[in-house]
């Protein structure tokens, strides 16, 4: 219970991450969805532009760190956005026991996935 | 034959019966009658026991709020012609305990209202009684909070707020809006004092941005936006005190 109390006391942090993630999900992710989901399959953009080899060489270039930070932001912050939203939805559904542990599951999940993202981006791909 | 309209109202008299009931009245229809005029007609001509609150009948006092066909509205500024030839159902404001018929118990709201300290607070307490000093304000400074001064405490936002319905401890839209009104008044210095209440667990963080409060507000106080701005303010404050090592 002590841990859950501590998580709840961090509400300003969760809410800020929620806001930031929401901005990214609303403004940046659609650009990627458009590029990868529509423009390339439709042939408007050459698939070579975002090919695996090309991407890998960008990542290992001196600018790689900026790309990695960018990738981290568009993956991690929307996770926190989703975590907060799902937690509040569960709260509205009033499922007592789930409600109590939801902060742990949702924010914990977002933290774990963010750590995995960091490991993949900064260790596996270096 | 003169035109008529049907109004169905909630009836509740705990002295006689534990159950809520409804009763339908047929009243003459006048294009320029408000719903409150209709209720007054019922009380004067059809059933003098019908109980409801009202006072100013001009959207100023905030006492005539009721659920009109399921939406919280001021009955003095909602007109029969909006519904005619349909029927109208009037219920007491949602999310509050019912005292009798269309009258709800606002004790919870009144208690919260006091807690947000909706008055000008000065750090130097003697300022509050010192009438010799002038506190000049520019129109730009007044613009920062003027919109929120328009709140008439009608509690329609509480009846509309699903979060308040689920968690009655939530301090709610109007009270937060009034806290904001004083926090943003250049003459006020009570922001930190109010923060304990506004940023508490039952404060702004409980809001899930449904936005119905803003939708139903008859005075366009926009509580929803104000709550989000208060969240930003409290989050910023939280980060700074975190950096300073206070948390
Ligand atoms: S009677 Fe005063 S606001 Fe309606």
Residue range(s) defining the domain that contains residue B32:
4-104
A95-99, A108-112, B168-172: the lowest-pLDDT one? A95-99
Residue B247 has pLDDT above 70, yes or no: no
Beta-carbon-side half-sphere exposure of residue A110 (alpha carbons within 13 Å): 24
Q: Is the CB of B239 inside 8 Å of chain A's CB atoms? A: yes
Domain boundaries, chain A: 2-124
The answer for residues whose C-beta is within 8 angstroms of residue A109's C-beta and 6 or more apart is A79, A83
Interface contact A12-B234, CB threshold 8 A:
yes
Cβ–Cβ < 8 Å for B176, B230: yes
Of B42, B77, B104, which residue sits at a domain end?
Answer: B104
Q: Which of residues 157-186 of B touch A (CB under 8 A)?
A: 162-163, 166
Of B49, B77, B104, which residue sits at a domain end?
Answer: B104
B164 and B122 inside one domain: yes
B124 and B239 inside one domain: yes
B94 and B39 inside one domain: yes
pLDDT for position A1: 56
pLDDT for position B1: 60
Name which of B162, B208, B235 is nearest A12 (Cβ-Cβ).
Answer: B235
Mean per-residue pLDDT over chain B, rounded: 94
Q: Mean pLDDT across the stretch A61-78?
A: 92
From the number of C-beta atoms within 10 Å of its C-beta (0-12, 13-18, 19+), residue B151 rates as: buried
pLDDT per residue as tens digits for the range B15-71: 999 999 999 999 999 999 999 999 999 999 999 999 999 999 999 999 999 999 999
Q: What angle do CA A14, A19, A22 make, to 5 degrees?
A: 120
B223 and B128 inside one domain: yes
Helices (H) and strands (E) in chain B, counts: 9, 7
CATH number at residue B35: 3.10.20.30
pLDDT per residue as tens digits for the range B99-141: 999 999 999 999 999 999 999 999 988 888 888 888 899 999 9
R_g (Cα) of chain A, nearest Å:
18
Cα–Cα distance for residue pair B163/B94, rounded to 1 Å: 12
CATH number at residue B113: 1.10.1060.10
Of B65, B89, B104, which residue sits at a domain end?
Answer: B104
pLDDT for position B246: 61
Place B163 in a pLDDT band, splitting at 50, 70 and 90: very high
Q: Is the CB of A100 inside 8 Å of chain B's CB atoms? A: no
Place A99 in a pLDDT band, splitting at 50, 70 and 90: confident
B179 and B203 inside one domain: yes
- For chain A, what percent of residues have pLDDT higher than 90? 50
Cα–Cα distance for residue pair B213/B180, rounded to 1 Å: 15
The residues pairing with B71 across neighbouring beta strands, listed in sequence order, are B68
Q: Cα of B65 to ligand 1 centre, how many Å?
A: 7
Total structural domains within chain B? 2
pLDDT for position B225: 96
Structure tokens at A97: 């026991």
Helix, strand, coil % over all residues of chain A, rounded to 5: 85, 0, 15
B114 and B154 inside one domain: yes
- CATH code given to domain A2-124: 1.20.1300.10
Phi first, then psi: give them for residue B78, nearest 5 degrees: -115, 130
């Amino acid at each position: 219970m002590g841990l859950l109390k501590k998580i709840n006391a961090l509400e300003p942090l969760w809410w800020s991450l929620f806001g930031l993630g929401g901005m990214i999900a609303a403004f940046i992710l659609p650009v990627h969805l458009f590029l990868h989901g529509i423009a390339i399959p439709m042939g408007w953009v050459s698939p070579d532009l975002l090919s695996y080899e090309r991407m890998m060489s960008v990542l290992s270039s001196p600018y790689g760190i900026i790309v990695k930070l960018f990738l981290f932001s568009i993956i991690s912050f929307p996770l926190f956005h989703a975590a907060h939203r799902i937690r509040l939805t569960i709260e509205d559904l009033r499922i007592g026991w789930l409600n109590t542990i939801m902060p742990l599951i949702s924010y914990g999940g977002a933290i774990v996935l963010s750590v995995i993202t960091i490991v993949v981006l900064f260790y596996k791909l270096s | 034959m003169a035109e008529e309209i049907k109004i169905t109202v909630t009836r509740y008299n705990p002295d006689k019966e534990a159950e809520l009931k409804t009763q339908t009245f047929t009243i003459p229809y006048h294009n320029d009658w408000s719903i409150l005029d209709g209720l007054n007609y019922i009380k004067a001509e059809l059933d003098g026991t019908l109980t409801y609150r009202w006072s100013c009948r001009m959207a100023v006092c905030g006492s005539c709020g009721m659920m009109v066909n399921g939406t919280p509205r001021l009955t003095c500024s909602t007109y029969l012609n909006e519904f005619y030839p349909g029927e109208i159902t009037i219920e007491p404001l949602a999310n509050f305990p019912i005292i009798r018929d269309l009258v709800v118990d606002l004790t919870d709201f009144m208690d919260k209202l006091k807690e947000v300290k909706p008055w000008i607070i000065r750090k130097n307490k003697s300022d509050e009684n010192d009438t010799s000093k002038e506190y000049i304000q520019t129109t730009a400074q007044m613009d920062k909070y003027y919109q929120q001064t328009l709140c008439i405490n009608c509690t329609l936002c509480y009846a509309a707020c699903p979060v308040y319905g689920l968690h009655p401890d939530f301090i709610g839209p109007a009270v937060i809006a009034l806290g904001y009104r004083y926090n943003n008044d250049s003459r006020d210095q009570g922001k930190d004092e109010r923060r304990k209440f506004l940023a508490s667990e039952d404060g702004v963080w409980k809001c899930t941005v449904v936005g119905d409060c803003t939708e139903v507000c008859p005075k366009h106080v926009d509580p929803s936006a104000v709550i989000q701005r208060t969240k930003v303010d409290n989050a910023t404050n939280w980060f700074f005190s975190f950096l300073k090592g206070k948390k």
